[in-house]
Amino acid sequence: MPSFDPSLLTWSEQTSSFTLPLPEPFRYEQNLGYLTRSTNECLFHVDNSDIYKLLLARDNRVLIAVNSEDNLQLRIRVLSSTDTPVTPALLEHVARYVWEWFDLRTDLAPFYALAEHDPLLDRVTRDFYGLRLLGIPDLFEAMSWGIMGQQINLAFAYTLKRRLVETFGTRLDWQGRTYWAFPAPERIAELAPEALTALQFTGKKAEYLIGVARMMAEGRLDKEQLLEMKDFAAMEKELLSIRGIGPWTANYVLMRCLRNAAAFPIADVGLHNALKHVLGLDEKPTLPHIRQLAENWKGWEAYATFYLWRVLY
């Protein structure tokens, strides 16, 4: 997997934009299709194939628009940068975020080669060819989304996220629209659980979320420290030691944020429903059945799960 290379950035002062080269295979419309699956998304806005997103670079709010017309490069426009001018360091921060968001480091050739010999994956990889595992680069956001999604349907999880973001997040008003960035852990760490139960969080979820926020605000939980472990089992064990983080949430974070292709949220209801649909079953498959199906996915369970999710969402 190639590392991010700042020298690949091509900045145009005239258009306030730069480009990132795209790996093959990549199909922008497939990734856009995933990002537009919910009309209640609050952390980005899609309009005419442009993805508008507010990023935080230290204390600087940066509004960007992402697009690709040729599947060869992503064009990123910097629409608004508050507080500080656009600098090379700022551009690199934005580029790294987008690069990680779209998982541009991963060579999908081995996954597609594996899928050709798997009846389940062969179908979905053909249907969604060029789809990347869209991630959540910010660890606090990923863990929060995992906690919010525990034991509720996806629609209500989006509602909880919107309430949290619009109550405690960072906003930027630009050309008649409000854009939001996810709350910093320091902001949530100072809350009492009642501030979240007022938004219809359960008491337990409120405690879990504030607990994770305090760990991060105090430096006891850090993305880079987790990544330095490298070993999947060690990272999973560290996440499971956190109150409120079970196997599903840990593997969700490993999959969407820490980018471990072997992460496997096997208890995920969406995965079960997707398998039921693709297999034409009357009932959802059992866990032993899913483990049997996944024997061919070793090392690529995260991508297999993501593609199967796409069948439903």
User: Do residues 199 and 77 make contact, with C-beta atoms less than 8 angstroms apart?
Assistant: no
Task: Record the tokens describing residue 219, joined without a space.
Answer: 């430096």
C-alpha dist (Å) from residue 127 to 30, 124, 277: 9, 5, 15
Task: Record the tokens describing residue 265, joined without a space.
Answer: 């949220």
User: Do residues 146 and 252 make contact, with C-beta atoms less than 8 angstroms apart?
Assistant: yes
Query: Which member of 103, 118, 138, 268 is catalytic?
Result: 268
Residue 59 appears among annotated catalytic residues: no
| Active-site residue list | 268
